[in-house]
A and B are shown apart, each in its own frame.
Chain A
Amino acid sequence: MEKNKIKLLWDIFFTFFKISPVSFGGGYAMIPLLERAVTVKKKWVEEKDIADVLVMAQTVPGSIAVNTATFIGYRIAGLFGAIAGTIGIVTPTFLIIVALAALFLSFQHNPIVEAAFMGIRPAIVALIAYAAITIGKTAIFNTVTGIIAGVALILFLFVPVHPIFILIAGSYWYFIK
């Protein structure tokens, strides 16, 4: 591989590497930063194109932050660019979560940590309920979508089938109808 290409790949890797630790809470927080880095600073993407990139990153499975890095990496430097962008944005958060996991596993039986998690577990239930309400606001907009959500909930609660099957059934709904 020629020298310039390697330099470009390194540049892609490092640009996303720097943005990655900022992405607290799902990645939307880092969108403005990411936008500025790739349009204004690096001029990899024109500002009018960034909206398309983000829509596409949102539609594809996976997190919007990682998908944006992959997509932009691909546009600048092909397959290797895509890989460089993905590894760049995944590595810092990977290292942080592994460090936190190791820390938690060694302190989880400490009485203070145990007490803290007695409080945190219900908070996780609240966060998940909040996520359901937030997505429900855009997903449920008429009787049909309301019934689909209700039936899905009952199936998830009482039918011991892999959730993937119920999700696939949901995505085919429109075409069956």
Chain B
Amino acid sequence: MYWNLFVSFLKIGFISFGGGYAMIPVIEYEVRAHQWLSTQEFTDVVAIAGMSPGPIATNSAVFVGYKVGGMLGAAISAVAVSLPSLLIVVLLSLFMYKMKKRNFMDNAFYGLRPVITGLIAYAAIHFAMQNDMIGTSKLLGFEWIGILFVIAGLGLLLFTKINPVMVILLSGVMGVVIYY
């Protein structure tokens, strides 16, 4: 199990381009493949990861590691997810980072960025479905309060300069007001 954690997060460490939420669906894929957590449980993990300082992908990896294998699991996940960038940064520094290299990366990013956009859009749809916001037996197949939360949150993020952490905290308070 510790070995599985290590290999899963090492893989993710190598491809975590784009930062932020881009790696969330990839981590979720690994988590589901190993049946460590359900997508709903993983959504809560992402919420906690988003509230803590530090990169959200690393935080999610550490939380998953902690849930699966306690303190040791968390430590293994942290090392595995950080190791690839450490190696790559050291190697690049060794071989000097020249303009040519940068062109090469730009070209790779030409196709990669739109794919990452698709990946994150997929993650949004997938998380909405797995959290029973779409396709359940509620009115017209939607869970309307949840949808309203999504729209309100998205509106705040798009049209104000609100900190994402505040959005999470505010929705938590609203959740208590409505559901408790």
- What residues make up the interface of A, taking CB atoms closer than 8 Å to B? 20-27, 52, 55-67, 70-71, 74-75, 79, 82-83, 86, 90, 92-94, 96-98, 100-102, 104-105, 108, 111-112, 114-133, 135-136, 138-140, 145-146, 148-153, 155-157, 162-164, 166-175
Contacts and interface: CB of A to CB of B under 8 A. Distances in A.
A62 to B, nearest CB: 3
A114 B153 CA distance: 19
B113 A130 contact: no
Contact of B173 (A108, A116, A153, A167): A116
A131 B44 CA distance: 18
A167 B123 contact: no
Contacts of A174: 107-108, 110-111
A48 to B, nearest CB: 16
Contact of A145 (B97, B113, B126, B158): B113
23 contacts: A27-B19, A27-B54, A55-B102, A59-B105, A61-B85, A62-B84, A65-B54, A66-B58, A70-B85, A71-B93, A82-B86, A100-B48, A101-B62, A112-B180, A117-B47, A119-B175, A131-B21, A135-B116, A157-B125, A164-B26, A166-B115, A171-B115, A174-B108
B165 to A, nearest CB: 6
B52 A93 contact: yes
B56 interface: yes
Contact of A116 (B116, B122, B125, B176): B176
Contact of A120 (B97, B114, B151, B171): B171
Contacts of B125: 157
Interface residues of B, number: 102
Given A139-B117, A175-B107, A23 B167 contact: no
